[in-house]
Structures are given as C-alpha cells and as structure tokens.
C-alpha cells in the first residue's frame, strides 16, 4: 500500500485560506497561484486574481490569503 504522507488535503489537514482579491475561501494554492509580498505568501483562486494582486499588492495584502509557509 503506497501512502503519501505529504497529501494533506486527502486527510483533511489542509486549512482553507482566503483569496485576498475576491474573498473566496480556497484550499492552499499550488505554486503557480501564489505570490510573495513582504515575507508572506498569498494564495489565489485563479490567475486573474493573482495578476490583479501582483499589479498592486499593497491594495490587497492585509492578512487575507496570507500564510508564513
């Protein structure tokens, strides 16, 4: 039996985060849907929200969607 210990979503360990642009509650995003800003990581539901954030991170970087991982 092959058991992947790194797949936390399968086991319910992944805690949802909030997309800082649209406010949607989402599971932690894959690398292509994350941005770094002032030492924090922000997660997005789509490339559109990520592009909006990246254009003006100061407007959206107020805690939502943020993690220190």
What is the domain partition of the chain in residue ranges? Answer: 31-69
Q: pTM for this one? A: 0.70
Residue by residue, DSSP assigns 14-32 as PPPEE-TTT--EEPPPPGG
pLDDT at 67 (0 to 100): 53
How far lies 32's CA from each of 3, 12, 25, 46, in Å? 26, 22, 17, 9
Please tell me which residue, 8 or 49, carries the higher pLDDT value.
49
- pLDDT tens-digit profile of 28-52? 989 999 999 999 999 999 999 999 9
- Measure CA of the first residue to CA of the last residue in the chain; give whole Å: 30
């Amino acid at each position: 039996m092959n058991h992947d210990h790194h797949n936390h979503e399968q086991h319910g360990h992944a805690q949802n985060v909030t997309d800082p642009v649209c406010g949607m509650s989402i599971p932690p995003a894959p690398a292509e849907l994350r941005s770094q800003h002032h030492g924090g990581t922000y997660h997005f539901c789509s490339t559109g929200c990520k592009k909006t954030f990246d254009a003006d991170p100061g407007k959206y970087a107020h805690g939502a969607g943020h993690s220190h991982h």
